[in-house]
Amino acid sequence: MKKIVIGIDIGGTFTDIIIQNKESGDIIKQLKVSTIPKNPEEAIITSLQKELTSEDIDFVQQIYHATTIATNAFLGQVNLELPKTALVTTKGFRDILEIGRQRRASLYDFSFERPTPIIPRRFRFEIEERLNHRGEITLPIELDILPKISAIIKQENINSVAITLLHSYMNSIHEQKIKQYFEKNHKDIYISTSFEVSPEHREFERTSTTAINAILMPIVSRYINSLAESFTEFGFKAPLFIMQSNGGVSKSDQIQKLPVSIIESGPSAGVVASRFYAEFLDLNRVLSFDMGGTTAKAGSIVNKTITLTSEYEVGGDVHSGRIVKGSGYPARFPFIDLAEMSSGGGSIAWVDKGNALRVGPISAGSDPGPACYDHKGEDPTITDANLILGRLNPEGLLNKTFKIYPELSKISIEEKIASKIDLSVFESALGIIEIANINMSRILRIVTVERGLDPRDFILIAFGGAGPLHACALANELEMNHIIIPNSPGLFSAMGLLFTDVKHTYVKSIREKIMNLDYQVVENEFRNLEEKGFVVLDEEGFKEKDILHQRFAELRYIGQGFELLIPLSEIDLEANTTSTKIKSLFNEKHKAIYGYTMENEEVEVVNIRVNSFGLIKKPVLKNIKSGAKKPIKEALVEYRQVLFDKQKDFVKTPIYDRTALLAKNENTGPAIIEQYDTTTVIPLNWKAKVDEFGLIHLHRM
């Protein structure tokens, strides 16, 4: 029987759809269609109607989906007013959510703002109760206040409630009691409890995460239900899986309970696709670099594992690739450790008041667009700079179907840049590219050097519409020697959806010195978490042989306030050398990141974590036709004048058509390879080799 899977990645501008035959691995169809923000499912259904026969519909096994709905809700990008939400918390502490960490996001700005509290004070209710840090009840809960709160909630038409009590990560009993009350007394209400959403210490982050979940529940539920409805109407019986920020998918009904898990759904798919490459090609250190029209994103994959973090602020400002603390709403959940920068083809170059050339963060997007589009945009962008340097095809983008005008780029750069900083148009264009590259090299640095990793040990996978244009320059900056350009860089993220395992993460607070731990208890706690994962994966239809658990502990020296995540899957917890082994793993990692260890200090555990995976069958990359070292004649389209280096002049550069390149083909820089969805620039001192799967490997010579 034929088996079909579908990947759908809805972005701000485009919706990417990939339809694949699961058995053969053949891509049946890949599509890029315009996104309709108000009614995103419409574009999908219309396209699917065209591409799938009624027979095919029955063969569809799974639908995978990446969405930016959750992030956009907090950026005000969709016409969504955040739903009215209430918070119930311990008496004396309703303002924790508003005070946050009492820090302002900008130091020297008198008009600084704090992000508006996501739940206004009038809907933050207090209840008499108290636990201590061991989870012991020091003040029993007074439930008498609940009818009063309940009445206000009904009167105000609030349909979602967050429940966060102090120290509930150690004992959930009081939160459970409140939850039960609301379940009993309200029919249509969404409930988020902090012990279920984020059972870890640090009350502000836990409260904020739970509140975000509560706010997202109605939005995401509505979205998923409407999508599912359209699919059912269309005839699909296949389950819908949604990409989570942690790089795994989860079935849509799980997501409705934990929508905070899909905040970075969109950007995750690309990293997952890179991870698949790492596994398929057996690469131990891979950097994923994704550059599109407005942003660039970097993530690292070490030993075929995606690096995760739990620090994230929804709707926050980004400075040099790092989120500015206090500028958004903290959500504590495993996120793919991505560094992002407002730098894409549409990023605008400008000269500031001190006469410095700057690139971004403002983007011309697709409307008004770069100057060369001849829409309304008059500001020079990265695309304009690439164009007049000869790196992009002057006759048009997307196989010349999209007309562009280099002379407009030239005028724009002359007027807005060159004349102001006393450089020629071409020097200015080179400057724009160089500054953009420096900016982007920072996000690659953040996910490597700042995490104690050496970028020179890594292979860069560059994708997105603009990634392959800049990859070699970035690699030069970081002294990396090897780059891989996937087959369809522009659709790479959507492809990633088809490679994604189902993933659930669970955490349990255990706070003890590792020398004093009763490892039998720890083993049991791990098993409890794994059992939770098993139950959910079983419901999602996975067989035992396709289920995998990974164990981790968050450790620190006693007295430290920040933890390192140490994998424990390989450790036998019941051996008598366990604590020594764990300590040496921790010391090793501490040394790698901070440059020193404190051998005599005791190490404590703060949390244990389990990742539970439902493994799916991965597609296989197919071999392409083999050729000689020298590409066939048809592959060489033309020669074009391209400027690479400010010390030199324009050079006559061969332009190749990627679709005509065969395995074993080599191109020595300077050269350019063009294809529908991207352009790969190979500067001097770089060499391109096509492998048996059609992937381009760029090597520094």
Binding site for another protein (CB under 8 A): 92-96, 98-99, 101-104, 106-114, 120-122, 132-133, 166-167, 169, 201-205, 320, 322, 352-358, 421, 423, 427, 430-431, 434-435, 438-439, 442, 445, 449-450, 477, 511, 557, 559-562, 593-596, 598, 601
| C-beta of 93 vs 613, nearer to another protein | 93
Q: Could you give the angle at the alpha carbon of 199 between the alpha carbons of 197 and 200, nearest 5°?
A: 130
| C-beta of 321 vs 365, nearer to another protein | 321
In the complex, least distance from residue 369 CB atom to another protein, rounded to whole angstroms: 25
488 phi and psi, to 5 degrees? -120, 80
Alpha helix segments (H runs only) across 447-559 = 467-478, 492-498, 519-539
In the complex, least distance from residue 595 CB atom to another protein, rounded to whole angstroms: 5
In the complex, least distance from residue 518 CB atom to another protein, rounded to whole angstroms: 19
CA pair distance 588, 596, nearest whole angstrom:
9
Q: Do residues 494 and 18 lie in contact, with contact meaning Cβ atoms separated by under 8 Å?
A: yes
In the complex, least distance from residue 243 CB atom to another protein, rounded to whole angstroms: 28
| C-beta of 594 vs 650, nearer to another protein | 594
| C-beta of 570 vs 595, nearer to another protein | 595
In the complex, least distance from residue 480 CB atom to another protein, rounded to whole angstroms: 14
In the complex, least distance from residue 206 CB atom to another protein, rounded to whole angstroms: 8
* Residues paired with residue 21 on neighbouring β-strands, in sequence order: 4
| C-beta of 50 vs 456, nearer to another protein | 456
Strands 339-341 and 296-302: antiparallel
Residue 421 CB neighbour total at 10 angstroms: 13
| C-beta of 55 vs 595, nearer to another protein | 595
In the complex, least distance from residue 239 CB atom to another protein, rounded to whole angstroms: 38
In the complex, least distance from residue 133 CB atom to another protein, rounded to whole angstroms: 4
Place of tokens 């990008």: 77
Name the token pair of 466. Answer: 């603009």
| C-beta of 207 vs 268, nearer to another protein | 207
* Residues paired with residue 603 on neighbouring β-strands, in sequence order: 557
489: nearest Cα among 219, 342, 679, 230: 679
In the complex, least distance from residue 92 CB atom to another protein, rounded to whole angstroms: 4
| C-beta of 208 vs 261, nearer to another protein | 208
Q: Which residue type is seen at 75?
A: L
Please give the helix or strand (H or E) that residue 314 lies within, else none. strand 313-314
Residue 531 CB neighbour total at 10 angstroms: 14
In the complex, least distance from residue 497 CB atom to another protein, rounded to whole angstroms: 32
CA pair distance 332, 511, nearest whole angstrom:
19
360 phi and psi, to 5 degrees? 75, -175
In the complex, least distance from residue 130 CB atom to another protein, rounded to whole angstroms: 9
In the complex, least distance from residue 436 CB atom to another protein, rounded to whole angstroms: 11
64: nearest Cα among 122, 6, 108, 145: 6
CA pair distance 604, 607, nearest whole angstrom:
10
Burial of 306 (0-12, 13-18, 19+ CB in 10 A): buried
CA pair distance 175, 89, nearest whole angstrom:
9
In the complex, least distance from residue 617 CB atom to another protein, rounded to whole angstroms: 39
In the complex, least distance from residue 311 CB atom to another protein, rounded to whole angstroms: 11
The string of DSSP codes covering 217-247 is HHHHHHHHHHHHHHHHHHT--SPEEEE-TTS
Q: What is the CA radius of gyration of the chain?
A: 26
| C-beta of 211 vs 357, nearer to another protein | 357
| C-beta of 422 vs 570, nearer to another protein | 422
| C-beta of 149 vs 242, nearer to another protein | 149
* Residues paired with residue 687 on neighbouring β-strands, in sequence order: 668, 699
CA pair distance 237, 58, nearest whole angstrom:
7
Q: Do residues 373 and 404 lie in contact, with contact meaning Cβ atoms separated by under 8 Å?
A: yes
Please give the helix or strand (H or E) that residue 155 lies within, else none. helix 146-155
CA distances from 218 to 160, 329, 550 (A): 7, 18, 32
Residue 593 CB neighbour total at 10 angstroms: 13
CA pair distance 389, 429, nearest whole angstrom:
7
Burial of 352 (0-12, 13-18, 19+ CB in 10 A): exposed
H helices, E strands: number in the chain: 18, 37
In the complex, least distance from residue 285 CB atom to another protein, rounded to whole angstroms: 19
| C-beta of 593 vs 632, nearer to another protein | 593
In the complex, least distance from residue 113 CB atom to another protein, rounded to whole angstroms: 7
| C-beta of 9 vs 205, nearer to another protein | 205
Name the token pair of 413. Answer: 């750069």
| C-beta of 525 vs 563, nearer to another protein | 563
CA distances from 428 to 363, 425, 670 (A): 18, 5, 21
| C-beta of 354 vs 701, nearer to another protein | 354
| C-beta of 638 vs 645, nearer to another protein | 645
Q: Which residue type is seen at 523?
A: E
Contacts of 267 (CB under 8 A, 6+ apart): 290, 297, 336, 338, 340, 493
